Structure 1
Amino acid sequence: MATDAAASQPTLTSDCENDAYDKRCIFCRIAKKETDTELLHSDEETSCFRDIRPGAPHHYLVVPSRHVGNCKSLGKEHVPLVEKLLEVGKAVLEKNGFTDLGDVRFGFHWPPFCSVTHLHLHVLAPASQLGFLSRVVYRLDSYWFITADQLLSRLSSLG
């Protein structure tokens, strides 16, 4: 019986070569333009939109267009994807008039502290204007938030 239930579930992969899509995932639906969410950036690989609960004047989410699990499920082969998410985040900030990259926080929530299990980079600027709660939620060197640079370092060191 469990085999039948498993067979009826959609197969999702975290590998970027497959056109993975989960119709139950809000970020998949946003990236596929199935919602009325305004996309600040969209290409074959990535999409960017505003966070619905902004923690800073500029708070964007950059997601892969294909369903990719959370940052804990990534491997060394995902380094180019994470670098692309970071590149898009910087470009969207610049496009929106924010150029002080020394006052930006780029990062991911570390599982199980993810509200959506589709990989998403938080872009927060200016970081110096994060409110009290946002400073906790997006705190550096915490159990629940990892910077993009820390994630890239972890992925690069994998065998």
Structure 2
Amino acid sequence: MSMENCVFCKIIAGEMPAKFVYQDDLIVAFPDIKPSAPVHILIVPKKHTESLKTTSEEDQVLLGKMLLIAGKIAKDLGISESGFKVVINNGPDAGQLVKHLHFHLLGGWAKNEGRVTI
């Protein structure tokens, strides 16, 4: 998928709507339109890269910041104490639907509700 056809690139460029819960010079975060949990936020780098397989050592700071932002958003949304997950789907067999690297921040479940233990 080219950057011109990438839905996340269009959101980042303001060509498609999204309600950002976080934004800085490297990253945006917004709710998933088809949530898999009571809280389901997508954490997306502004730099277009398809998945972890297309990252390089140059992306270390970006990837680390994405994880730190996941923790910050979890705290801001009140799910850090009860628990949350950060998931990265890489490739179609892993469930990646948009070919732009992104982290799924999932949480907000009631005790023992809707959780998968890995």
Which TM bucket (shorter chain)? Answer: 0.7 to 0.9
Structure 2's unaligned 5+ residue stretches are: none
Which has the larger share of helix? 1
Which protein has the larger Cα radius of gyration, Structure 1 or Structure 2? 1
Mapped to 2, the partners of 1:31 and 1:129 lie a distance apart of 35
Map of 1:95 onto structure 2:
76
Alpha-carbon offset, residue 90 of structure 1 = 1.6
Give the structure-1-normalised TM-score: 0.63
Alpha-carbon offset, residue 35 of structure 1 = 1.5
Q: Which contiguous aligned blocks of 4+ residues in structure 1 show a shift greater than 3 angstroms?
A: 126-130
Alpha-carbon offset, residue 46 of structure 1 = 0.3
Mapped to 2, the partners of 1:33 and 1:47 lie a distance apart of 12
Give the structure-2-normalised TM-score: 0.82
The reply on whether 1:23 has 2:4 as its aligned counterpart is yes
Identity %: 27
Structure 1's unaligned 5+ residue stretches are: 1-9, 11-21, 141-159
Map of 1:66 onto structure 2:
47
Aligned positions of 1:111-126 closer than 5 A: 111-112=91-92, 113=94, 114-126=96-108
- Quick one: which of 42, 51, 70 aligns to 2:32? 51
Alpha-carbon offset, residue 130 of structure 1 = 5.8
C-alpha contact (below 8 Å) 1:31/1:42 kept by paired residues: no
| Higher RCO (C-alpha under 8 Å, 6+ residues apart) | 2
Report the count of equivalent residues.
114
